[in-house]
Amino acid sequence: MFSSEIPDCNPTVSPRLYHICMAPVSVSTCQVLLIRSLARSPANFLEEEGNRGLVAAVFGILFSSLCVLVLDRDPLPLIAHSSQSSRGKAKYWKILALLYYPAFYYPLIACATVRHRVSYLVGCLLSWCHCVVHIWQKVDCPQSPKIYRYYSTLSYIPIILCLVLLSLWYPALLIRSFTGNSSSRSTEKPLPAIHPCRISLGKSQLMFDTPPLPVPVLSLGCLLWLLGWVDLQPAPAFPRDPVSQLLPDTPLPFCLTGFRIPLKLVLSITTAVLAVYQVALLLLVAVVPTIQIVRAGMTKDIVILLVQFGLVPSESPAVPGDMEKELNTVKYYLWSLEVCYICSLVLCCLLTCAMLLRTLVMHRNNLKALYQGAVLDVFYKAHILRPSRQAIVCWMSFAAFQTAFACLGLLIQQVIFFICSVGFTFLFIIPLQSGTNTYLFKIFQNMWPFWLTLVVAVIVQNLAAHYQFLEQHPLRKELTNRRALYIVTYLLFPINVLVGVLAGVWRMVISGLYNAVHFSQLDISLLNRSVETFDPGYHTYCHYLKIEVSQSHPVMKAFCLLLLQLARPEGPPGLRASNVEEGIQLMQPKKAPPSRTRFKQSRARWWLAYTLLNNPSLTACRKTALSDPTANGTQLSSPKP
Amino acid sequence: MFSSEIPDCNPTVSPRLYHICMAPVSVSTCQVLLIRSLARSPANFLEEEGNRGLVAAVFGILFSSLCVLVLDRDPLPLIAHSSQSSRGKAKYWKILALLYYPAFYYPLIACATVRHRVSYLVGCLLSWCHCVVHIWQKVDCPQSPKIYRYYSTLSYIPIILCLVLLSLWYPALLIRSFTGNSSSRSTEKPLPAIHPCRISLGKSQLMFDTPPLPVPVLSLGCLLWLLGWVDLQPAPAFPRDPVSQLLPDTPLPFCLTGFRIPLKLVLSITTAVLAVYQVALLLLVAVVPTIQIVRAGMTKDIVILLVQFGLVPSESPAVPGDMEKELNTVKYYLWSLEVCYICSLVLCCLLTCAMLLRTLVMHRNNLKALYQGAVLDVFYKAHILRPSRQAIVCWMSFAAFQTAFACLGLLIQQVIFFICSVGFTFLFIIPLQSGTNTYLFKIFQNMWPFWLTLVVAVIVQNLAAHYQFLEQHPLRKELTNRRALYIVTYLLFPINVLVGVLAGVWRMVISGLYNAVHFSQLDISLLNRSVETFDPGYHTYCHYLKIEVSQSHPVMKAFCLLLLQLARPEGPPGLRASNVEEGIQLMQPKKAPPSRTRFKQSRARWWLAYTLLNNPSLTACRKTALSDPTANGTQLSSPKP
């Protein structure tokens, strides 16, 4: 009905031409990067600490390509006529495309990972090229017949935005590699000045010195603070930092935390947000234009049919000529349906995004607790935190699962909320407005003595329990009037069964709603605590946490770094020094003088620990070892400098 | 269609006459019992220990009356023409009936509670009267036009069975009151001989001496044992007890436990089982006869319509005369529908009953744990076990909630299982049989490369994780080949998203099924552990447990009994002595010589504790107090006799 109006459109750079040109370029770039082996391996991207945004952008491109691919008739533009081939072959191309796209975009990550001026230049060129071609294609042909005329363009927006980010990121990296104050190999940012900024993290009350945070992170922090998910404590005796000078309304410098969210989680949240966008877009364009077309094309003949079926109230059902009022009613109903749909979709998106933010907060708390060994604060049963086959598989699929769960969660929520909002509108709001279809009100009117009885019974039981059956001793409450209690229990049994039916309905509603709202959160189980690991999402999250904790404990990382620095004293102390800071802070839960001496003292402790590890025989001569026979060389938490 | 065939029927004793005669009798009985105040108060029925079956039967009658009442047009037969009055008034009579029926049946409990020969006689007469009238009514008029011709009779069966139980129980009580070996006031059963019979209860490993169990309890025990819910340990060196002599196939005497399930729980399980019966009956008679009638009345005209809608496959849709084959197909489909409905109903009933049995086992374990102070074994967070307003209200409504939840749980399960079984039948079994409607097979056939890809990807990841990414140190597994791990993670990201979608569907299915199956269990929460008390069922259960534990701790009961015995040394040592046993066993978790001396020794300990409580100054002079400065008079667990 509306796809016929869209003219056939062939972009100047056809997708086929684009892939035929770019695929060999990508492959050769990969080969060069792998063979030349410049500064670093191009495969280290998942432990990258500098260019997290860049890696996240590439994963975003990858996921958006997957979304486009699933619905596309032409899955692999590289192959001639893959769209014209039979449907049987198209599905093989689709499966092949699942592996093709990651390889196609791989150079965009690899160029940043090797950290070399030439690779930055190649990354620049590649990202510009991809970006320009995509924008050009969409400017040439903004409309397509698929689902909705602008659907194709709208679904490409995340890809284009990610490519724009890459096109700006690579030049910035390249420029910094020229203007950097260190050698060409160490392009890392210098360690930012440390500000004493505090945050109380639940029970742990750790102190964190953090660099000033950029404005988007600050706004996110404000949002989280508004939602009550973090406590922010301003550092009182500290001058205004640069960020709060930029934001004069911010009363005192505050910061979220010095805690670094793992890259894998950043990726999963990025792709999950993109998933929310893509699913919401699909839900929107698949339904709303259709409703609008139906509304515009509504005729009096259809209205007569609807009136005859009793779906639309009418005062004159016998006169087909005079249906103006009923036609307007039908149009109003359709408009209400549309409004309900859009409102519930907006609500779902906001809820899913809020749950994703909550995942971040939960994850930070969980990691903090596990770093400090409080396994039972996180898991219901004790776990051994070490890699295993299952844990590695779960770590590999974590980001993908988070993304898929966000998609499904949004869908489920949309179904539930749409039904609820339609029910609310058509059973409550429209009857209130028009005075027709007042079924719900009639039921309530008929049933009010019943509801009143139940409410009175519950109130009577509460009052009796408080004033009659509970003896209020000053020290301890005690049961009294037992015989009256038994008689009341017996007499109210039938009424309590009816109250129980209502409680059961509430149980059903609340468990259904809770599970639907929290579906996209992997960090909580939807099952009872005794069987919680049967939930595939929670299972994946638990194993993912094990790998994260066992592989990236800040104390371990700091220790490794110090070992490396000792081995290469001329090496760059740059970015990695933040690990030392984090490790030291975790080892020192008590308040310490916020001065530079603390860092030196801590470093001295690390060296001591290193010396003791290399010379275990010295341990026996130490003061603490002499007083405590069970202590040995691993007592890192209380060595005397 | 089928109610017109049922003749009008007026029973000889009309319900109105029955209630007009029996209501004054009930009221006057209550008055006499209350005013005369015979041996015991008639209100103590909920701490009754001898006649638990009797109390349960009365609650069963009450609940069945409620079921009949909810659907009845004539809620209060006492009032003239309550059925002929307007619908507006009928609902007030219904509400009044909710309070009338408990009062009407109250004498049946009260007569047993006062424990007097005269009251037993009155109870006999009353129960016989009720029983005879009900049976007479149903023999007179077995059919009624309501829902299904035999529905009314079938729904009265539980009432009649409970009344039959009462009609046998009261004469037995009366006879025992004459033949009893003690005075007329102590009609309690003598303490049964104690057999050393052991059962290991999870972690606690308590030893329990129990009386031999009756055959139904033994069968229940066998069932539980088959289901793996309890461990039965035969007492090896013990001669065959009377029960196992009755059952020669039982290899060794074994018993469930000496643990006494609280009366309130017995009531709730009884009414819940009756609820399952009533709901299943209603579901059965509301649907199955209708399907049968539709099947019998199916004509070729309707078949043509169904064929035109594409619901029934047909090879010759244009010839209306020759529809014999299609008619048979439609009848076969309707028969399949009926079979699915009945099968799913049977499955639901079995599942709900199994969950109720499981509730019993869980409850026993929970009570045991709480008696021993292991609060965190039962609750996720620490609770204070003492009465409160909320706890009393929850205790009052517990049995009613359990009943209502069983009803709702059965309904939800029936809906889900019926949909699943219909889907399975019509998408899988019937296409396999007839070769038509093979949509599902076609989808599978079309999608197999896709499924294969997902399976291969998962297997590859598992194999790679095991052989490539995990270094198998002898002591400790460690991550290795990180770069390959990162590349595989990146390349398989799109495929893992699709795997994640399947995992998400599984998450949805498993959480929905788990919640539906466990809906009738109040002792587990359907919500995540952090918010589990928002579940109204679990909330009620937790508070109910608090009251049970704080009011009926066996140690406390035994201690109270000993105090009472000291005050009245001539009093009956009868039934209550089992409390002493239970309390003593709970205090003595270690193995003890299974002889009569143990009981004497324990009693000596109790007297010692009692002496010490009354003379706290003596505590300081005791041997253990002198050696341990922190011990005081409450060290009941290790006093020296």
pLDDT digits (tens, 9 = 90+) for B134-147: 999 999 888 888 88
Q: Which amino acid is at A31?
A: Q
> Three-state DSSP class for B210?
strand
CA–CA gap between residue A620 and residue A349 (Å, rounded): 61
Q: Is any Cβ of chain A less than 8 angstroms from the Cβ of B388?
A: yes
Q: A130-139, A178-187, B166-175, B404-413: lowest mean pLDDT where?
A: A178-187
CB contact under 8 A, A496 and B43: no
Count of Cβ atoms closer than 10 Å to residue A49 Cβ: 13
Residues A12, A17, A20: CA angle, nearest 5 degrees = 165
Count CB pairs under 8 A between chains A and B.
325
Q: Is any Cβ of chain A less than 8 angstroms from the Cβ of B479?
A: yes
Q: Mean pLDDT for chain B?
A: 77
Minimum Cα–Cα distance from A58: chain B residue:
B490
Which two three-digit tokens encode residue B19? 């209630």
CA–CA gap between residue B82 and residue B98 (Å, rounded): 15
Q: Is any Cβ of chain A less than 8 angstroms from the Cβ of B392?
A: yes
Q: Is any Cβ of chain B less than 8 angstroms from the Cβ of A461?
A: yes
> Three-state DSSP class for A251?
coil
Asked if the model's pLDDT at residue B410 lies above 90, the reply is yes
pLDDT at A2: 46
Name the region of B24 (left: φ>0; alpha: ψ -120 to 50; beta: rest): alpha
Query: Which residues, other chains included, contact B56 with Cβ-Cβ below 8 Å and sequence gap of 6+?
Result: B266, B267, B270
CB contact under 8 A, B494 and A109: no
Asked if the model's pLDDT at residue B524 lies above 50, the reply is yes
Task: State the average pLDDT over residues A406-432.
Answer: 94
Chain A, 196 to 215: residues with Cβ < 8 Å from chain B are none
Which stretches does DSSP call E strand in B140-252?
195-196, 209-210
CB contact under 8 A, B490 and A527: no
Each residue of A570-582: pLDDT tens digit?
544 444 555 555 5
Sort out which chain B residues have CB atoms less than 8 A from A43's CB and list them.
483-484, 486-487
Task: State the average pLDDT over residues B86-110.
Answer: 85
Q: Is any Cβ of chain A less than 8 angstroms from the Cβ of B486?
A: yes
Query: Of residues A589 and B268, which shows the higher confidence score?
Result: B268
Quick one: CA torsion of A448, A450, A455, A460, rounded to 10 degrees?
130
- Where residue B240 falls among pLDDT bands split at 50, 70, 90? very low
Work out the minimum CA distance from A283 to partner chain B, whole angstroms.
17
CB contact under 8 A, B101 and A494: yes
pLDDT at B41: 73
Q: Is any Cβ of chain A less than 8 angstroms from the Cβ of B526?
A: yes
pLDDT at A408: 96
Query: Of residues A43 and A533, which shows the higher confidence score?
Result: A533
Minimum Cα–Cα distance from A468: chain B residue:
B389
pLDDT at B263: 86
Which two three-digit tokens encode residue A353? 């995004």
Q: Are B217 and B226 in contact (CB under 8 A)?
A: no
Q: Which amino acid is at B597?
A: T
Work out the minimum CA distance from B547 to partner chain A, whole angstroms.
9
Q: Is any Cβ of chain B less than 8 angstroms from the Cβ of A622?
A: no
pLDDT at A251: 32
CB contact under 8 A, B461 and A407: no
Question: Please, how many CA atoms are within 13 Å of residue B158, restricted to the half-sphere of its CB?
Answer: 26
Q: Is any Cβ of chain B less than 8 angstroms from the Cβ of A110?
A: no
pLDDT at B11: 84
Q: A265-279, A455-469, B206-220, B364-378: lowest mean pLDDT where?
A: B206-220
Q: Is any Cβ of chain B less than 8 angstroms from the Cβ of A560?
A: no
Quick one: CA torsion of B244, B249, B255, B261, rounded to 10 degrees?
-100
CB contact under 8 A, A102 and B392: no
CA–CA gap between residue B493 and residue A63 (Å, rounded): 8
Q: DSSP string covering B213-231, please?
A: PPHHHHHHHHHHHHTTSS-
> Three-state DSSP class for A225?
helix
Minimal Cβ distance to A477: which of B388, B494, B527:
B388
Q: Are A172 and A41 in contact (CB under 8 A)?
A: no
Q: Is any Cβ of chain B less than 8 angstroms from the Cβ of A501?
A: yes
pLDDT at B88: 67
CA–CA gap between residue A150 and residue A145 (Å, rounded): 8
Interface-testing mutation among A105, A392, A456, with chain B (most B C-beta atoms within 10 A): A392
Query: Which residues, other chains included, contact A629 with Cβ-Cβ below 8 Å and sequence gap of 6+?
Result: none
Each residue of A196-208: pLDDT tens digit?
333 333 333 333 3
CA A95 to centroid of chain Cα atoms? 27
Task: State the average pLDDT over residues A236-240.
Answer: 35
Query: Of residues B7 and A56, which shows the higher confidence score?
Result: A56
Minimum Cα–Cα distance from B113: chain A residue:
A483
Each residue of B533-584: pLDDT tens digit?
899 999 999 999 998 888 877 777 777 777 777 766 554 444 445 555 555 5
Q: Residue A148, class by beta-carbon neighbours within 10 Å (0-12 exposed, 13-18 middle, 19+ buried)?
A: buried
Each residue of A109-165: pLDDT tens digit?
888 888 888 889 999 999 999 999 999 999 988 888 888 888 989 999 999 999 999
Asked if the model's pLDDT at residue A184 lies above 70, the reply is no
List the one residue out of A99, A495, A179 whose CA is nearest residue B70.
A495
Which two three-digit tokens encode residue A407? 């998609």
List the one residue out of A122, A104, A33, A278 whose CA is nearest residue B493.
A104
pLDDT at B640: 38
Work out the minimum CA distance from B507 to partner chain A, whole angstroms.
6
Work out the minimum CA distance from B98 to partner chain A, whole angstroms.
6
- Does an H or E element contain A325, and which? helix A324-371
pLDDT at A364: 86
Q: Which amino acid is at A30?
A: C
pLDDT at A105: 93
Asked if the model's pLDDT at residue A97 lies above 60, the reply is yes
CB contact under 8 A, B396 and A488: yes
CB contact under 8 A, A507 and B514: no
Interface-testing mutation among A493, A529, A550, with chain B (most B C-beta atoms within 10 A): A493
Query: Of residues B270 and A472, which shows the higher confidence score?
Result: B270
Minimal Cβ distance to B511: which of A65, A387, A527:
A527
Q: A82-96, A486-500, B203-217: lowest mean pLDDT where?
A: B203-217
List the one residue out of B365, B345, B342 whose CA is nearest residue B353.
B345
pLDDT at B583: 57
Which two three-digit tokens encode residue B540? 């009620």
Q: B185-189, B226-230, B241-245, B419-423: lowest mean pLDDT where?
A: B241-245
CA B244 to centroid of chain Cα atoms? 28
- The percentage of residues in chain A with a pLDDT greater than 90, rounded to a whole number, is 37
CB contact under 8 A, A490 and B531: no
Q: Mean pLDDT for chain A?
A: 77
> Phi, psi at residue A209, to the nearest 5°?
-95, 125
List the one residue out of B417, B405, B357, B626 whose CA is nearest residue B522.
B405
Q: Is any Cβ of chain B less than 8 angstroms from the Cβ of A531?
A: yes
Q: Is any Cβ of chain B less than 8 angstroms from the Cβ of A621?
A: no
Work out the minimum CA distance from B8 to partner chain A, whole angstroms.
30
pLDDT at B142: 87
Q: Is any Cβ of chain B less than 8 angstroms from the Cβ of A231?
A: no
> Three-state DSSP class for A195?
strand
CA–CA gap between residue B370 and residue B359 (Å, rounded): 16
List the one residue out of A404, A363, A418 whose CA is nearest residue A276.
A404
Q: Is any Cβ of chain A less than 8 angstroms from the Cβ of B519?
A: yes
- The percentage of residues in chain A with a pLDDT greater than 70, rounded to a whole number, is 73
CA–CA gap between residue B130 and residue B125 (Å, rounded): 9
pLDDT at A76: 79
CB-based burial, B221-242: b 16+ in 10 Å, e otherwise: beebeeeebbebebbeeeeebe
Sort out which chain B residues have CB atoms less than 8 A from A492's CB and list them.
102, 396-397, 400
pLDDT at B301: 84
Minimal Cβ distance to A528: which of B91, B525, B547:
B525
Q: A228-237, B2-11, B318-327, B613-622: lowest mean pLDDT where?
A: A228-237
List the one residue out of A497, A261, A217, A491 whose CA is nearest residue A362.
A261
Q: What is the pTM of this model?
A: 0.79
Asked if the model's pLDDT at residue A433 lies above 70, the reply is yes
pLDDT at B372: 81
CB contact under 8 A, A508 and B496: no
Asked if the model's pLDDT at residue B243 lies above 50, the reply is no
pLDDT at A170: 93
pLDDT at A80: 60
Each residue of A271-325: pLDDT tens digit?
999 999 999 999 999 999 999 999 998 888 888 888 888 777 776 655 556 778 8
Q: Are A234 and A243 in contact (CB under 8 A)?
A: no
Minimum Cα–Cα distance from B451: chain A residue:
A95
* Highest mean pLDDT, choosing among A80-84, A502-506, A619-623, A625-629: A502-506
Asked if the model's pLDDT at residue B187 lies above 50, the reply is no
pLDDT at A521: 93
Longest dimension (CA), chain B: 107
CB contact under 8 A, A497 and B462: no
Q: Is any Cβ of chain B less than 8 angstroms from the Cβ of A494?
A: yes
Minimum Cα–Cα distance from A520: chain B residue:
B504
> Phi, psi at residue A379, to the nearest 5°?
-100, 155
